[in-house]
Amino acid sequence: MSTHGKTVRIYLADGAPTGIRHAEVVNWTGQAIVCPRGRIGELSKWPESQRPGLYFLIGENPETSRPLAYIGEAENVLTRLKQHVASKDFWDQVVFFTSKDENLTKAHVKYLESRVVELAVTANRIPLANSTAPTQSTLPRPDRDAMEEFLGPARILLGALGFTLLEPVRSRKEGGVSNGDNGPLSHVTLYVNVPKRGIKAEGTSTDEGFIVAEGSLGHRELQGNLSPGWVKRREELIQDGTIEVIGEQIRFAKDVLFNSPSAAAATVCGGGRNGRKAWKDKDGTTLRDLENTLAGVTTEPEGNE
């Protein structure tokens, strides 16, 4: 994706940040609309919703309370959304993309649907309610390239609106792992090692949160100072196979993004931890000190905290 800055415009239809929102990337032919389920009927006043488009239904899995998404396409987005109101209960809001110049056809959006399902499966952030992978429509090469160009700003806009289901937790490159431009510390590998408990974990601090790396080992036993919320999150990760239980240890089966370094350290160790002190680079410098250095702040002695 481009490293150049982008300008995103968001129009709040009724002045509320939770109502219908129209969004666009400047100098892009596409547009997005976010709409709560209860306001689908109001989209009849939006011509943008009555064109061929790509859409994302966002909600929660009723059995696990975890996020769930459905990706689809339609020749008339509004007509399809009304069908989903009647047939799918899990979703609470929709994000859909159409073209401002009306140049997107049914074949174009079928191609986009196939590509974004592929991206969402690869990113593996949110389970999809799609039962099968859609068939990619056959397009002439110029049209196919145009749709790939359409995808770039669409992904940026989707993420800017708070929906990151198409973005890998971190990108891979030959010879190692790269987080791209995801923060000034995204290239620094951080560690938590407690040999006597079999804890040997690696992680990375990014703009989005803290990533515990695939293959990291933690301890299965829980300590009394682990908050109920983190206990629940840990058990959910075990239940869905993201974390594997191996005897007295746990193993991360894939990269996992946490909201904070403390949540990451607590999940690894099975007890409450100050993640900014627990995570250290290869020289033993804590994440706290690394962040202080970046901010131009002098680290104070522990006794003065």
- Please spell the DSSP secondary structure of 18-86, one letter per residue: TS-EEEEETT-SEEEEEEEGGGGGGGGG-GGGGSSEEEEEEEE-TTT--EEEEEEEESSHHHHHHHHHH
* Cβ–Cβ under 8 Å, residues 164 and 15: no
Could you give the CA distance from residue 104 to residue 150 in angstroms, rounded to a whole number? 10
Q: Do 195 and 80 share a structural domain?
A: no
Flag whether pLDDT at 94 surpasses 50: yes
Q: Do 185 and 114 share a structural domain?
A: no
Q: Do 121 and 50 share a structural domain?
A: yes
Q: Please report whether residue 166 resides in a domain.
A: no
Q: Do 200 and 62 share a structural domain?
A: no
pLDDT of residue 172: 44
Angle subtended by helix axes 106-123 and 141-160, to nearest 10: 50
Q: Do 195 and 293 share a structural domain?
A: yes
pLDDT of residue 3: 63
The residue count of the chain comes to 305
Burial environment of residue 140 by CB neighbours within 10 A (0 to 12, 13 to 18, 19 or more): exposed
Q: Do 259 and 119 share a structural domain?
A: no
Query: Which among 160, 194, 223 is the end of a domain?
Result: 160
Q: Does residue 92 or residue 303 have the better pLDDT?
A: 92
Q: Whole domain around residue 98: which residue ranges? A: 8-160
Dihedral angle sign, alpha carbons of residues 255, 150, 37, 91: negative
> How many domains does the structure of the chain reveal?
2
Q: Please report whether residue 225 resides in a domain.
A: yes
Q: Please report whether residue 73 resides in a domain.
A: yes
pLDDT of residue 173: 41
Q: Do 154 and 127 share a structural domain?
A: yes
* Cβ–Cβ under 8 Å, residues 225 and 266: no
Query: Which CB contacts under 8 angstroms, 24+ apart, belong to 187-190?
Result: 188/281, 188/290, 189/213, 189/281, 189/282, 190/279, 190/280, 190/281, 190/287
Q: Please report whether residue 3 resides in a domain.
A: no
Could you give the CA distance from residue 256 to residue 80 in angstroms, rounded to a whole number? 34
Q: Do 143 and 283 share a structural domain?
A: no
* Cβ–Cβ under 8 Å, residues 113 and 54: yes
Q: Do 137 and 24 share a structural domain?
A: yes
DSSP E strands, the chain: 8-12, 21-25, 30-36, 53-60, 67-74, 91-99, 171-173, 176-178, 190-194, 199-205, 210-212, 217-219, 243-246, 249-252, 256-258
Cα angle 110-122-218, degrees, rounded to a multiple of 5 = 155
Q: Please report whether residue 66 resides in a domain.
A: yes
Q: Please report whether residue 216 resides in a domain.
A: yes
Q: Please report whether residue 64 resides in a domain.
A: yes
State pTM to two decimals. Answer: 0.81
Q: What is the mean pLDDT of the chain?
A: 90
Under DSSP, the state recorded for 280 is B
Measured between its terminal Cα atoms, the distance across the chain in Å is 41
Angle subtended by helix axes 261-269 and 228-239, to nearest 10: 70
Query: Which among 130, 160, 190 is the end of a domain?
Result: 160
* Cβ–Cβ under 8 Å, residues 51 and 77: yes
Flag whether pLDDT at 66 surpasses 70: yes
Could you give the CA distance from residue 68 to residue 119 in angstroms, rounded to a whole number? 15
3-state helix, strand, coil in the chain (%, to 5): 35, 25, 40
Query: Which among 132, 160, 188 is the end of a domain?
Result: 160
Flag whether pLDDT at 175 surpasses 90: no
Query: How would residue 59 be classed by pLDDT, with cut points 50, 70 and 90?
Result: very high
Span 28-50, mean pLDDT? 96
Q: Do 119 and 177 share a structural domain?
A: no
Flag whether pLDDT at 34 surpasses 80: yes
Q: Please report whether residue 220 resides in a domain.
A: yes
